[in-house]
Amino acid sequence: MSEAGGAALERGWLLSPPGRPYLASILRKNQRRVFGLLERPTLPPTLAVPFVPYKLFVSGKSGVGKTALVATLAGTPAPSAHHETLGLEVTTVYWPAKLRATGRPVIFQLHFWDCGDGALRKFEHLLPACKEEVDAVLFLFSFTDRSSFEELPAQMSRVVGPDEENLVKIVIGTKFDLSAQAAVPEAALAAFEGAQGARVLRASSGPGAGGGRGGLARVTPILDALAERLWHRDQVRAGLAEGSPRD
């Protein structure tokens, strides 16, 4: 999605024949593999690639679907009913991608930090912990909740200070598949995108959306967009058109 400078990743590569060995590294029995703290995808030595780690803080009012979105992106079952996240949950998603400029595959190691809105308000130390050495903040709203969209500017100002412009800010609208009569009109979205200079990502809420091979097509655009924005930020920061990945 890189708004400035064009696409940095080869779109659709992971689901193409050249990407199959890398796809197999994050699957088990055709389902997304859940990795332990000391585990990571393994590849034959001839296909070994660098891992690029990033920390992402997931922000949004209670009920917009923060936990469900992270579960979907990780390929794990999403909760069937809403329950406020009581504390802090960290989920790691490994996402292989191919850089267009170099033709090199890399594996993005995305650490999603999800904290319940109530816990953030109750315990003052949680927000600084979530933001410590963070690379991106995901601001979520629900297409079925107009107020969650209208509160975005205040939420963004509250979480990201004026001296934190280096953070990647990404807005994701959840429950897009439930918005036949959307509470958030397209005109409002277009105005917001124009003001922010970035498009809003749209996420569905289907159960198990990213769990199996078939569901990968639904989560690939979001994961590619997250990885691409972060990668592009690093290259701009380094003053390079394309550079070496972080270790």
Percent of the chain with pLDDT over 90: 46
Mean pLDDT of the chain: 85
pLDDT of residue 130: 87
Say if 245 falls within a structural domain.
no
Greatest CA separation for the chain: 51
Residue 160, SS3?
Answer: coil
- What is the count of structural domains for the chain? 1
Tens of pLDDT, residues 172-213 = 999 887 766 568 888 999 999 998 888 899 988 655 455 566
Say if 5 falls within a structural domain.
no
pLDDT of residue 148: 93
Asked if the model's pLDDT at residue 246 lies above 90, the reply is no
Say if 140 falls within a structural domain.
yes
Asked if the model's pLDDT at residue 17 lies above 70, the reply is yes
pLDDT of residue 182: 66
Say if 143 falls within a structural domain.
yes
Say if 246 falls within a structural domain.
no
More confident residue, 214 or 195: 195
More confident residue, 72 or 241: 72
Lowest-pLDDT choice from 9-23, 47-61, 193-207: 193-207
In this prediction the pTM is 0.87
Lowest-pLDDT choice from 5-19, 87-101, 125-139: 5-19
Find the mean pLDDT for residues 232-247. 68
Say if 244 falls within a structural domain.
no
Buried b (16+ CB within 10 A) or exposed e, 80-94: eeeeebeeebebbbb
Q: What is the CATH number of the domain that holds 90?
A: 3.40.50.300
Say if 2 falls within a structural domain.
no
Tens of pLDDT, residues 117-160 = 777 777 778 888 888 999 999 999 999 899 999 999 998 988 88
pLDDT of residue 180: 60
Say if 147 falls within a structural domain.
yes
Count CA atoms within 13 Å of residue 126 on its CB side.
20
The two structure tokens encoding residue 135: 């690379």
Q: Which domain holds residue 62?
A: 13-238
Count CA atoms within 13 Å of residue 66 on its CB side.
28
**What is the residue whose two structure tokens read 């193409």?**
16
